[in-house]
Homo-oligomer: A and B are copies of this chain.
């Protein structure tokens, strides 16, 4: 026992040293491959003895008057990555539309109800991860409800991925995620600038993206931050990874929802597998890297078929083949 505990402590030290070292260097092709290998290690084996729900029950908080596509894209992506059940918590008005996109989703028309936080809260113990923000919009009532749901998810120790107008909320109230170790933020260029200004009081240094993402992550108490861009830059307060998996140059709306929905599942898998499995980067870094690589690969494959006319629906059709190619072959 004592020897085993010593070994485990030694492995832990080595992981920290490895991560501290990797913070100071760029991310080469070899690093890309080794991080992809870490993602492969968290993917649960498909075995016949499993029950429905064991590979992931994911919730998406969003869907309002204007936006119904975004929560659908996030929720269906979670299913296509391998989750067993995918829930959407949206407004009364958005629910029938989101339901109509796909019979695969479980859609709860509760987000604009006075009882929203309790209603979603009842489901939280059954969820493995929550994606907050796709199609949330900026209505004051919905943002207040999203805040209450986020606080309940934190209290329950549930991993949360925050995107889109969920990030608008966090920029208004950074304390919402401050120091929560199971939060991942996925800002695009504009959202990253807004967050940096809110949290650090100044716009990010455009010449040093790695440094800027690391600083925001550290200022938020080591929350994982994924800055999407030409390359995706990911930091967890200790280590910085870059994902430059080949994607495409198409920038149609909805790609970020594919990323956030996939990340919901991968975050659950990575945290369940634990740092022993990911061997180096933290579980949430590995999950984020996996979601970035997958989204880019989907974009690449869809673009090869559809070129400039590629839309997010075309990319979602590639989730299965892209996942298999990156993480299973």
Query: A interface vs B, CB < 8 Å?
Result: 46-55, 65-69, 72-73, 79-85, 93, 96-97, 99-109, 188-190, 230, 247-256, 306-313, 319-320, 323-324, 328
Write out the residue numbers on chain B whose beta carbons fall within 8 Å of the beta carbon of A69: 99, 102-106
Please determine whether B66 and A106 come into contact, CB atoms closer than 8 angstroms: yes
Please determine whether A68 and B311 come into contact, CB atoms closer than 8 angstroms: no
Please determine whether B103 and A52 come into contact, CB atoms closer than 8 angstroms: no
Q: How far is the CB of A308 from chain B (nearest CB, A)?
A: 4
Q: How far is the CB of A325 from chain B (nearest CB, A)?
A: 10
Write out the residue numbers on chain B whose beta carbons fall within 8 Å of the beta carbon of A100: 97, 100-101
Please determine whether A82 and B253 come into contact, CB atoms closer than 8 angstroms: no
Write out the residue numbers on chain B whose beta carbons fall within 8 Å of the beta carbon of A307: 320, 323-324, 328
Tell me whether A252 and B324 are in contact in the complex, defined as CB-CB below 8 angstroms, given that A46-B308, A68-B103, A100-B97 are known contacts.
no
Residue of B nearest to A54 (CB): B251
Residue of B nearest to A324 (CB): B307
Please determine whether B65 and A251 come into contact, CB atoms closer than 8 angstroms: no
Please determine whether B107 and A188 come into contact, CB atoms closer than 8 angstroms: no
Q: How far is the CB of A165 from chain B (nearest CB, A)?
A: 13
Please determine whether A252 and B104 come into contact, CB atoms closer than 8 angstroms: yes
Most chain B CB neighbours (cut-off 10 Å) among A93, A103, A189: A103
Most chain B CB neighbours (cut-off 10 Å) among A72, A248, A251, A307: A251
A308–B83 Cα distance when bound, in Å, is 9
Please determine whether B80 and A309 come into contact, CB atoms closer than 8 angstroms: yes
Number of copies: 2
Please determine whether A66 and B107 come into contact, CB atoms closer than 8 angstroms: yes
Residue of B nearest to A320 (CB): B309
Residue of B nearest to A306 (CB): B320
15 new A-B pairs (CB below 8 Å) besides A69-B102, A100-B101, A306-B320?
A48-B249, A52-B188, A52-B256, A55-B251, A65-B109, A69-B104, A69-B106, A79-B309, A79-B311, A84-B253, A85-B253, A93-B96, A96-B97, A97-B100, A307-B320
The one of B47, B79, B248, B313 in contact with A252, judged by C-beta atoms closer than 8 angstroms, is B79
The one of B51, B252, B310 in contact with A251, judged by C-beta atoms closer than 8 angstroms, is B51
Tell me whether A104 and B323 are in contact in the complex, defined as CB-CB below 8 angstroms, given that A50-B249, A252-B52 are known contacts.
no
A83–B309 Cα distance when bound, in Å, is 9
Please determine whether A251 and B52 come into contact, CB atoms closer than 8 angstroms: yes
Write out the residue numbers on chain B whose beta carbons fall within 8 Å of the beta carbon of A256: 52
Please determine whether B251 and A84 come into contact, CB atoms closer than 8 angstroms: yes
Q: How far is the CB of A198 from chain B (nearest CB, A)?
A: 20
Q: How far is the CB of A247 from chain B (nearest CB, A)?
A: 8
